Amino acid sequence: MEFLKGWEKTKKRLELMWENELLDRCCVCVEAPKDASNPYVEKMPDNPQELKKWYLDPDWILERNLEKFRKTHYAGDAVPSIFTYFGTGGHGKYLCNEKGVEYTRDTIWIHPVINDYDTFDFKMRPDNEFLVKELKILEYLTKEGMGKFFVGLPDNTGSFDALSQLRGNVELMMDLIDKPKDVKNAVDKIVDVLINTGDQIFDVLRRNNDGGSVHSWMGTWSKGRHMQLQCDSSVMMSNEYFKEFIVPELEKTSAWLDNAIYHLDGIEQLRHLDSLLEIKNINMIQWVQVSGQPPITEFIPELKKIQEAKKGLVLLVNKNQIEPLLNEISPRGVILNVMDAKDSQEADDIVRFVENFKYRRV
C-alpha cells in the first residue's frame, strides 16, 4: 500500500527550510483521523514481557504503524513515518546489560550502573545485544517501507542525559562539583558511542528515506545525517555549568551532523538560549510547550531572537496559535506541527489557511 503522496514538493520545502528560504509557504504538518469516530488508538500491553515485545518485535511495530497510516489523514507536509522508539538517550543501553533496562508503558528506563568512573568500561562491544537487535528491526522496517513510508530515527539523543541515566540524576549533579573531569571524560566517550552507532543507523535508514534521514514526530527530513539534540538535565543547572559541561557535547555532536535541531524542553532552558544560538552547527530550535507553563504565544520575543540568529524553528502548536504566531514571526525556516485537528476536513482547512496567510514579516 502506498502512503507517500506529494513527497517531491514537500521534500523541496524541507530542503529550502534548512536554508531559511521559502518555496511558497512555511512548512506545516497536520495529522488527523480519516474517520473521527474511528481514530487510531495506541493499545499498549500491561504485562512486562509483552511490553518488551511491543517495543522490540518488528512485526508488531510494523502492524500497528500500518494501522495508524491507514486511519490517518496526512495534510500539508506531513508524511507517514515510523518512530522507532528504543528509549530516550537510548545509546546509553549500549553500555549496560539486559538487567539494567526496564520496559514500561511510559518509556524504556536505563537504571544506574556506574559506581566508579575509573573502573567502568565505556567501550562498547561491536556485538552489543541492544544495538544488534535494533539494527535488525530497522533493517526489517526499511525493507518493508521502501517507497511506501519512511522510518524515523530512534531517540538516541542527549549524551549527558544518557550519562544521567547510567550514573543517576542526583549522583551526576553532585559529580559536576566533585568530579568535573570524570564527567567531561564520560560524556565525551558517550558522544563517541552515539556517533559510532549513529553512523550505522543512518546507513541502514537512508536507503528508505530518499537518501536522507527523518525525525518522525517533528516532521522533518534532511539530506545526510539529521537528528535532534537535547539536554533535558540542563533544567537543573546554571548557564555557567551548561557552557562548561553541555556546550562541548553539542558542538561535537552537531559538527558530525548535516542538520541538527535542539530540543528546548521547557522555559527553564531559556537561560541557555544565548549559548545555544552561538553553536554554529545547530540549525533549528524546537520549542516545546510544557504542560503547566505559559503558551508559546507568550514568547514571541524569544522566537524572534532565534530567527535573528539565523536559526529555524520547529513549533508544535494548537490550531488557535497559528495566526498570532504567523503575525509576528517570519515563515522562513519554520515548520509548524499542528496537534489538534479533529478530522481530515479541518486538517486541510488548516493547511489552506497557512497557504493563504499574508505574512507581515518575510
pLDDT at site 2: 61
Q: Write the burial class of residue 147 (CB in 10 Å: 0-12 exposed, 13-18 middle, 19+ buried).
A: exposed
155, 263 contact by CB (below 8 A): no
pLDDT at site 226: 97
Per-residue pLDDT for the chain (362 aa), expressed as one digit of tens each?
A: 466 778 999 999 999 999 999 999 999 999 999 999 999 999 999 988 899 999 999 999 999 999 999 999 999 999 999 999 999 999 999 999 888 899 999 999 999 999 999 999 999 988 899 999 999 999 999 999 998 999 999 999 999 999 999 999 999 999 999 999 999 999 999 999 999 999 999 999 999 999 999 999 999 999 999 999 999 999 999 999 999 999 999 999 999 999 999 999 999 999 999 999 999 999 999 999 999 999 999 999 999 999 999 999 999 999 999 999 999 999 999 999 999 999 999 999 999 999 999 988 77
Q: 292: how many CB neighbours lie within 10 A of its CB?
A: 5
pLDDT at site 198: 97
Sorted by sequence, the CB contacts under 8 Å of residue 91 that are 6+ apart come out as 156, 159, 162, 190, 193, 194, 197, 198
Question: Which residue bears the cell 531559556?
Answer: 270
Angstrom distance (rounded) from CA 85 to CA 41: 17
Determine whether domain 7-356 maps to CATH 3.20.20.210. Answer: yes
165, 92 contact by CB (below 8 A): yes
Taking CA 136 as the corner, what is the angle to CA 133 and CA 142, rounded to the nearest 5 degrees? 140
What the block records as the C-alpha cell of 245 is: 559541561
Pairing between strand 101-103 and 108-110?
antiparallel
311, 277 contact by CB (below 8 A): yes
What the block records as the C-alpha cell of 352 is: 489552506
> 129-145 and 180-205 helices cross at what angle (nearest 10)?
30
pLDDT at site 362: 72
Angstrom distance (rounded) from CA 216 to CA 154: 9
Q: Where are the beta strands (DSSP E) in 197-266?
A: 212-215, 220-223, 226-229, 259-264
Strand partners, 110: 101
| Domain spans of the chain, in order of start | 7-356
Predicted TM-score (pTM) of this structure: 0.95
Amino acid at 80: P
Sorted by sequence, the CB contacts under 8 Å of residue 30 that are 6+ apart come out as 74, 75, 76, 78, 338, 341, 347, 350, 351
